[in-house]
Chain A
Amino acid sequence: MANLDDLMKLNGAVAAFSYTDEGELTESRIEDDSLNNDVLDMLAHMCVANTAIATMQARGWQKLTGMEGFYPVEGFALMGLEWSAVTNNHVGVVLKNDGADYEAAYQALHS
């Protein structure tokens, strides 16, 4: 699992967090006053829900079309007005949109 302190080193990182299979927050690092553990807990639940939906879609798409390479899902990201959340494998990072490097985030989450 990726190290939260390493995730905080990503450009524009304002928070990093880990969560259970169900989305319950287990650990966090926060560097923005408008974020707190309750918000990250909701965010983690949201990412778990959307990863599950994406997994269903990838499964269905692959079976129906015969196209390989969609399953399994290796990350879900939400792009908001100012921030983005990138998550995978029980860990996530919140980045400022301005200068967000999604590929670097995925790479860090995979490590």
Chain B
Amino acid sequence: MLKKLLILNGVMAVAQFRDDGAYVEGYGAMPEEELVRLTHFAHDYKRMVQGNVDQLSMFAQVNGWTPPGGWIVRGPAMTVCSISNVVAVVNNNETSLTEVMKEMNEVAHY
């Protein structure tokens, strides 16, 4: 199922991790060591975003943000995005991020 994401234009690598952060599997144009590192980052970043969104809800007293569904960090040429326990690295020039997020949502909740 995860490999389905690699078919999309611009997707360079995809990986999946467990709730405790352990690496499950990963594919794409990256050595496995980097895929493992990517999942560690995604797991940590997910928890950090969750913590900050909890605070946004708490301070602003507004529902609807938490729990966060995912996150996107966009750089000048590359983007890292994640939904649930799936993370992907995509090339900005070759991809439709909307399509990637839509597919990732499906894969993450399969």
> What distance in Å separates the Cβ of B62 from its nearest Cβ neighbour in chain A?
12
Query: Would you call A60 and B58 a contact (CB within 8 A)?
Result: yes
Q: How many residues of chain A are within 8 Å of chain B by beta carbon? A: 8
**Roughly how many angstroms separate A56 CA and B61 CA in the complex, as a whole number?**
14
**Roughly how many angstroms separate A59 CA and B55 CA in the complex, as a whole number?**
11
- Residues in B whose Cβ lies below 8 Å from that of A57: 55
B52 to chain A: closest residue by CB: A53
**Roughly how many angstroms separate A63 CA and B58 CA in the complex, as a whole number?**
11
Query: Would you call A64 and B59 a contact (CB within 8 A)?
Result: yes
> What distance in Å separates the Cβ of A57 from its nearest Cβ neighbour in chain B?
7
**Roughly how many angstroms separate A18 CA and B55 CA in the complex, as a whole number?**
30
- Residues in A whose Cβ lies below 8 Å from that of B59: 56, 59-61, 63-64
**Roughly how many angstroms separate A92 CA and B52 CA in the complex, as a whole number?**
25
**Roughly how many angstroms separate A60 CA and B57 CA in the complex, as a whole number?**
10
> What distance in Å separates the Cβ of B71 from its nearest Cβ neighbour in chain A?
15
- Residues in A whose Cβ lies below 8 Å from that of B55: 56-57, 60
A60 to chain B: closest residue by CB: B59
**Residue among B55, B59, B60, B61 with max Cβ neighbours from chain A (10 Å):** B59
Interface 1/0s, chain B 28-68, versus A by CB < 8 A? 00000000000000000000000010010011110000000
**Roughly how many angstroms separate A63 CA and B52 CA in the complex, as a whole number?**
17
Taking Cβ atoms with an 8 Å cutoff, the residues of B that contact A are: 52, 55, 58-61
Q: What would 13 more interface pairs be, CB under 8 Å, given A60-B55, A63-B59? A: A53-B52, A56-B52, A56-B55, A56-B59, A57-B55, A59-B59, A60-B58, A60-B59, A60-B60, A61-B59, A64-B58, A64-B59, A64-B61
Taking Cβ atoms with an 8 Å cutoff, the residues of A that contact B are: 53, 56-57, 59-61, 63-64
